[in-house]
Structure 1
Amino acid sequence: MKSLLTTILLLTATCCFAQKNKTYNDSLKAYQQQYVSSHEVVKGGDRKYFRFFTIDKNFKVLCRFERSADTSVVRMKTSGKTIPQKDFRRYGKLIFIIHDTTLQLTVYQSTPVKQNDPYKDYLFIPFTDLTTGEATYGSGRYIDIFTTDIKNNEVVIDFNKAYNPYCAYTTGYNCPIPPRENYLAIAINAGEKAFAKATH
């Protein structure tokens, strides 16, 4: 009887885990479909060239957030010629673990930020990793969060939602290039891959 009860509990736990994982995967698939169908730059038939890694919940991570004491302006280089650099301030730092490796990313905030700026709560996380220039876009990818996402000095970031800058699809944009401090020395096999259609 005890053995039977243990088996039932294990099966119940497995089913619950599978259901939660399915729900997560379904929500990410819906997110990707919305991302593709509403993209501002890639239109019509070209949308078939979007590619994504297989959804992997291991790349959804809880991060410790440390507010930056250094709020000096960071002049981030861009891929464009009309605006060769854009100004940001270091807002804070994220520390997290993926595959037993402790990593960190700097979080940036656009400057200047005014009280009535609709983007005043928007935070920008550009990054590169070992897939950059191979499976993913050669200048790196982005993740967005908001100041309101940070609670008790913690925030969740989901690399399955990492996306390409507009420059990955066409010319004419001035996309910030992730600085060296946001290079991750592992492969982030999650989120958007390199666009499958030649753009240049």
Structure 2
Amino acid sequence: MRYAHLLGLLFLSFFSVAQSSKQIDSALAYQRQLDLSYSDCEDSPLTEDDLEHFKGLPFFKVDTNYIVKAKFEKIEGQKPFVMPTTTERKPLYLKYAKLSFKLKDSIYALYAYQNQQLVQDSAYVDYLFLPFTDRSNGVSSYRGGRYLDVRIPKKDSLILDFNRAYNPYCAYNPKYSCPIPPEENDLPVAINAGVKYRMLY
């Protein structure tokens, strides 16, 4: 009986390590793809000078503590609203869901929004936008906050990977119009994961 118990513990330990390794690999693959897209002279948000010297985005070290399972609660009865941007542009968003999660022994929540123009594109019909601010802003990350993208889950939960947090395009180039994270999406904790600011080369 004791032998079987030890085997069970060993299996759980091996499974946990394998799962963690898979999560790290996935986050690193995403970051490599992000670097690749920023180095593309046709689609990059970087200025010509920054693009010429670009060697990769500065990332926090991938940390599985910032990969969390979030409870997904769809919010009913909402009406589209104008989300402020860094310019005069006034995009319409719908507050779509509340995402609750545990991070470092505390419970937090972020709201996910649905872009009412983007949702007309079949490729983005299940796309949700999570703009947020946290205590790392203006210290080690962009002062204006960062973004996450998720897809509407089929069940009542999803995985939030803050290692995939990225900066608004206007962090690199003022010609872009970027949504300003709503106050309700301010996290009272430093999210030391994802893209830092700014040292591109």
TM-score, with structure 1 as normaliser: 0.83
Find the partner of 1:56 among 63, 67, 92.
Answer: 63
Aligned residues: 193
The answer to which of 118-127 and 36-45 deviates more is 36-45
Q: For residue 32 of structure 2, what is the amino acid of its counterpart?
A: Q
Find the partner of 2:45 among 30, 41, 48.
Answer: 41
CA RMSD for the aligned pairs? 2.6
Shift of 1:13: 5.4
Are positions 1:32 and 2:31 aligned together? yes
CA distance in 2, matches of 1:144, 1:27: 15
Are positions 1:153 and 2:160 aligned together? no
Write the deviation string for residues 59-100 of structure 1: whole angstroms up to 9, x where unpaired. Answer: 1111111111242222211112xx343221111111111011
The answer to which of 96-105 and 43-52 deviates more is 43-52
Q: For residue 135 of structure 2, what is the amino acid of its counterpart?
A: L
Q: 1:116 to 1:137 in 2, by over 3 A?
A: closer
Native 8 Å contact 1:55 1:160 kept in 2: yes
Which stretches in structure 1 are left out of the alignment for 5+ residues?
none
SS at match of 2:173: coil
Q: 1:112 to 1:19 in 2, by over 3 A?
A: closer
Find the partner of 1:190 among 185, 188, 193.
Answer: 193
Partner of 1:68: 75
Partner of 1:93: 98
CA distance in 2, matches of 1:100, 1:93: 19
Which stretches in structure 2 are left out of the alignment for 5+ residues?
39-43
Write the deviation string for residues 123-176 of structure 1: whole angstroms up to 9, x where unpaired. Answer: 1000000101111111110010122xx132111111111111111111101000
Query: Sequence identity of aligned pairs in percent?
Result: 36
Shift of 1:34: 1.5
TM-score, with structure 2 as normaliser: 0.83
